[in-house]
Structure 1
């Protein structure tokens, strides 16, 4: 910003040239008007005045050059003094003309001198406004000498002119001061305006800079949020939203093939439960890294690949192939399966992963639906898990039909317990000693109004996957108790028991024992006549504690607990002491087997179960020979088609069959089992 003195200097130079022009014109005018009868000195005055004007012009040019070289600096003091000196020198020459000219000239020439001096003084109030002192002295030098000289002439007219000149000089001095003040004020206002403009400009630049920074941060944050919205925070793979958003980019490859692989990790919950969720996260990251490697080397460069963590332990991989066959898809999926299930080392620990893969191969066209392709691969993965996990299944149209039927059956099951579509069939369980019915197993059947008869092998697993099994189990328990309470006693005075299959989902309920007690109380069935059959899944460590508590509550009621399907699942003989059991039921696969070694397995199980105080029931008996052989091995009760198929009503008459031989009296070696084990019944 220029200082006030510099601005005044620039204003002085700006108007100086105008003053020089006016001065030259005035000198020329004086020379023309006063040349007649002019004294000898007048010519010298004109020459001297022009000489001073030339010096002023040269000084003006020198000052302008200095100003151009240093426009922001104050002028050199010598230039300022020289400029003021030449201005006063010019004023002095005009004052000399007034002083010497008044007595030397007369009449009109005197008036012309006064007019020229007055005009120059009036103009000086503007052109010399920047010169606070020099300008005023210049005005006084112009007017005062002439006024004093006129006053010396002595007559009244001259005195009046002298007085008017003095008053004119005073007015010119006042005008010069006013102009000088206005000029300073104008410069100050201009400076304030410039400073304000600079401040506003700086503020604007600052605001624009801040706004630019904010816009940059907002843009970066927006990109970050968009990335987070479409990517999984743990693996940095696409999430479900990000994968589905890629559908338009896939349609660009019209005519190519889209390989869709749905990956569901097997038994991933065991890693979280056994090692902790941190290990589960590390495993998921490892799986994500393995999925981002191209499926086949020859297609690594030409095939766009998208990988998504679909949710939990599920992943989706889709890859665009220029051409493909079902065999190519299977080969790629099996290669991916081999890569996923290869042992991995995480934090020094070697883990072996399992995975079930579903595959779908779709031609890309304008009608491509990415969600539909993923759904088909998901169905295939579900089928892989249903078939036993750890395998690759390619989608087939019938899988969709099965899924639709499964969904429809699930809806129908929701009301099956109250729409009279359920019923119980009863299959006899006879004593091996006399063929008398010892119990009847209640088997649930479903006659759906929309689907007709539905096999238990189809609707029971479906009910197990949801809460339907709880409602179906409660209905079967109550209906079995209400039916069995009316069964008459046999010749020995004992009425047969009723056996009801119980789901593990029922057993883990805290109120299951209360439900059993309520069913017994409502029906009036003695607790000793109720048998709850549980499968070997009760030995699953994840639920063993809760199931043990439930069975411990049921045991004092007098309800019998039988272990169904013994030998096919979790249990070992050593775990029979962990739960309050009354009997074990040997699975029919052992009974129906033709392997001679199976007899030894059954015989050993019978002897050990008896030493544990448990009765032994064998199911799947289909012939008299099988029944006789099992009785010889010491089996207590028998069940199978030989004694009767499941019927809507219990057949209470004893089975007519030959007397069974007595069980073998030769016991098997008991090994490490103590003969002092307490018996339970």
Structure 2
């Protein structure tokens, strides 16, 4: 039955009444015929109406429902949270909410349901009545089971390193926090030790034997390190050729014993296909002895100790002590220099092309900040950007990057034929996402340089969304209303639930470079890497967004991304980040204006 239209003005009052009657009949048919339980309640929580499916699921007839408030159906343990959400809905703080909870049937048995509640308001914004939709979760459908399996798979991917299978930084942070809290005893100041390992001369293996052999070395090292751990300890891959061993309840002597064991197990030769090689590690140790210390500080101390050992020639072990504090002073000096770097013109933007996998055309450029220090030379981006985030300088740095990227794009579009449709991609830090006035600042920057909003892509990481996904989603929706594109960067390295992703107004997912790298080599690991990418592409398609493969370094990776249905690619195989003039010369063609 088609919905009676109300788009054209009626020719008479009778015609309007007939149309309204038809629409009421249509909505009543949908209401009564729906397989989903639907009920209408007033703002006091009293039932006004409930369809047959709702009555069947709940096990109560319409007359009985009208005599009881709908909160009385709740399981006692679920009532407080449900009541809070309903109050937030009535107050206007929420427009709707969804949760999984339990109802109690008349016979006292528990009924698991997925509940969606929304509110209908009058022309003045006052709440009139609530609409409740209920799914019976007693019998999960195959689609729901597959969705939950996919979400669990993504959760595992988010907490484990895809190459070695070890816990990653996220899971390590959780376990460190638990260890420092005193574990199950809840003492608040737990005792533990951290070993920060950096493999010696790993770059030489990669450069001389190739990344495939280097990856196999990391996998074998991971297995050997895991064999050194005691029950309850954690061995994690921190990134690159760095590993962390968290020893719960351990002190200095136990940490030194494990470090000696690590050196012993790594001394045996590694069989890497047709190659035999050896590796060693430099180890930094930091101990939490029951005094108050954060997980970040403990990791920093272990990192400082490792670099202290490296400075002494490597392949050795060092335990953190306060004499290493001078490293912190050097960092403070770098912070002071960074505060003045913008005004002194030491920061520049480089641009890395993003290409279409359909036709190979350069469709966008990612703007990347670079710092040329007058004394120390080029400061690595991960060092000064992390420093900017830690010190609060990221807001001013981010504003400069946005403005400079927009200015450069506007200049290219005005002067170069090849840049007429070019877009620019700018990274947005978690701190920037929380800045008041972000949306207005972005709009003002675009207006100042005469750029359409669709020319700008803002990239943010999953970690930006975890702390307060509702607030982040609000900012993103405001950006989308202005037609600014939103990309989720490094996808798969954080944890975003599927329900959260469905609510975000995203334009694309950028597959993290670690997953792209994992497709190389034609091995079982490469097959698993391809399956991971295939899963992410499938998820993106279900969300209706595009996919960008990051960190493409080989033609094999590029071909695999194309075969798996990725839309775009970016990486050193195509081009490293380039200064503006080199980027324009390489990718944007001759000037449009002689």
TM-score using structure 2 length: 0.46
- Radius of gyration: which is bigger? 1
Which structure is higher in strand share?
A: 2
TM-score using structure 1 length: 0.41
Which structure is higher in helix share?
A: 1
